[in-house]
Structure 1
Amino acid sequence: MSTTSTRTTGSAAAPAPPAPRRRPNRHPDNAWAAILLAVPFAGLVIFYLWPLLRTVLLSFSEGTAFTGYTITGLENWQQLFENGDEVWRALLNTLVYAAIVLLGVPIAMVVAALLHQRGLRGRSFYRTLYFIPVVTMPVAVAMVWRYIYNGDFGLLNEVLDAVGGPTRAWVADPDTALYAVAVVGIWMALGTNLIILAAGLEAVPQTLEEAAMLDGAGPIRRFFSVTVPLLTPSIFLVSVLSVIGSLQMFDLLFIMLGRTNPALADSKTIVYLFYEEAFVRNDRPLGAVIALVTLVVTLAVTAVQFRLQRRWVTYA
């Protein structure tokens, strides 16, 4: 009996191995993160990268939307640089316009400093008043200013005539048309610049201004010696945004001057030239070349601004 029981016990089946333990998921949110990142990435590819690639391919092609496009190499680029007087003039006008609009940055600095004074009543009202042109449709703004600049019955000429000043057809004269449009560009950008600079002024420590006041510095000296150096990051941001917006200017010029204006040939910008080539003359390949030139110029000017900011921007 004892032998039998011993054999039975010895021949019993070995215990089953333990089930493998699952590794805990250390990154449970990776799937959701991938989904959330895929949405903006898809928008970037569809609305930015793919059109950019199509524009590059179109710049090396020839044809129309109805007949199709065929790759022809550098013919469009050669055409642009061989007969590029109009392009260079438009590019120069664009850079001049951007330089003039940059003058709005110190104007916005002064206005922001005046609105930042302690005890000023109605500060929010004044900021809202300056910001109204930003939220107004550019077409409506251009139509109003076109009436103001009118050479026959414009409000500006009426005021100048009343005080004995010179009057002229401001947007029909090649000598003044671009500058007249640039003044409107400064006025429209003033609200955005003012809001950004006002936020920068809020970050300036009051203790530094109080210390400068105790040292005998007046308001103007405190502004240039204390406020402006600490405001340079905001000034740099405003400058970059102003230049990029100026290099893309089209709507003001299109509405204020019109296609039959005698001053248009000497005042058109690079984006306006792109519109003429791509949509008026229906030369999409050449329009693509001009669009790429605009992109390269914008990147180059922005890169120069970022390079130079190391010399004058102070990050506290």
Structure 2
Amino acid sequence: MRKADGKWPWVFVLPTFLGVLVFYLWPLVKTLYDSFTESGPFGGATWVGAANYSQLIGDSEVYRAILNTVVYTAIVLLGIPIAVLFASLLNRPGLKGAMIYRTLFFLPYVAMPTAISLVWRIIYNSDYGALNQALKAIGIDGPSWITEPWFALIAVALLGLWLVIGFNMIVLSAGLKGIPAELYEAASLDGASRTQQFRSITVPLLTPSIFFLSVITTIAGFQLFDQLFALLGPANPVMPKTQSLVFLFYDAAFVGNERGYAAAVAVLILVVVGLLTLFQFRLQRRWVNYD
């Protein structure tokens, strides 16, 4: 800022700066400090150095939670290619009711995650759920979706996949509108089929949007908690085998009252997400087309 601008620029920036300081920077510093302490049963904290991180490295539940979170995130990332296909179909010229379809796809994203999870809990019910009833109609005995470890994790991931497709479609639809129609016309004159146009024009020019979605989906995947908590429930016997990193943090902080260890888990989540995001930004130089 120039000196001639006076104090007014600082006045306008101050509320945002204070918000970032209070709600982002200070919690980050406090969590980092708490990760080196051990909280007492009646409050207070004692400095224990790297003891929480040593416990973290030797805790098998941490590695299981990382694996569960990675599996969940990988399945939810499948929503990007699915959304590319759906968005391309809905972007065809002359398609009637395209706005209605987009709205229907987007509705799950804006609904309450807890309410949706409770509805899907009924759908996944092994006795009278709609999913197992549909499988039974074609001669397949459906599993106990939310009481068997791997099926429970996949059930949560399928719910997450269903939730993000609508948002992905909106972002990709905006990207599709930015692709010049002349490119498709020229390709059509050259004899390119719709499949060749999709592979050679649509997908390459959508890579910036795809990259954006891959980053935010990965970050959101490592924040998995509310769907897991509402769909399975904390008292579910499969929870220890399907818990995510954030649920592990919740269990340590608010159930076990191990706030120092929970802070170490939070720092681990921050580091993992940061490294994955950095890796994605480095990798995007090879496949994202900004021209």
TM-score range with shorter-chain normalisation? over 0.9
Larger Rg: 1
CA distance in 1, matches of 2:41, 2:241: 31
Counterpart position of 1:124: 99
Counterpart position of 1:39: 15
Counterpart position of 1:68: 44
- Per-residue CA distance 1:57-108 (angstroms, 9 max, x = gap): 10111123733112221111112112x1000110111011111111110000
Equivalent pair of 1:196/1:234 in contact (CA under 8 Å)? yes
CA distance in 2, matches of 1:85, 1:65: 25
Counterpart position of 1:169: 144
Q: Which amino acid aligns with 2:148?
A: D
- Per-residue CA distance 1:6-45 (angstroms, 9 max, x = gap): xxxxxxxxxxxxxxxxxxxx86544221111111111000
Percent pairwise identity: 49
- 1:234 aligned onto 2:209: yes
Counterpart position of 2:122: 147
Counterpart position of 2:262: 287
Equivalent pair of 1:64/1:284 in contact (CA under 8 Å)? no
CA distance in 2, matches of 1:52, 1:175: 33
Q: Which amino acid aligns with 2:18?
A: A
CA distance in 2, matches of 1:139, 1:270: 19
- 1:79 aligned onto 2:78: no
Which structure's residues are more often helix, by fraction?
Answer: 2
Counterpart position of 2:173: 198
- 1:58 aligned onto 2:44: no
Equivalent pair of 2:41/2:257 in contact (CA under 8 Å)? no
Go from structure 1 to structure 2 and tell me whether the alpha carbon gap of 1:30 and 1:190 turns closer, same or farther (over 3 Å shift). Answer: farther
Counterpart position of 2:155: 180
- Per-residue CA distance 1:260-279 (angstroms, 9 max, x = gap): 22321221110010000000
With the length of structure 1 as denominator, give the TM-score of the two structures: 0.89
Counterpart position of 1:313: 288
The count of corresponding residues between Structure 1 and Structure 2 is 290
Q: Which amino acid aligns with 1:291?
A: A
Unmatched segments (≥5 aa) in structure 1: 1-25
With the length of structure 2 as denominator, give the TM-score of the two structures: 0.97
Of structures 1 and 2, the one with the larger relative CO (CA 8 A, separation 6+) is 2
CA distance in 1, matches of 2:33, 2:222: 23
CA distance in 1, matches of 2:28, 2:242: 27
Structure 2 counterparts to residues 94-113 of structure 1, below 5 A: 94-113=69-88
Q: Which amino acid aligns with 1:213?
A: S
What SS class does the counterpart of residue 262 from structure 1 fall into?
coil
- 1:255 aligned onto 2:227: no
CA distance in 1, matches of 2:82, 2:136: 27
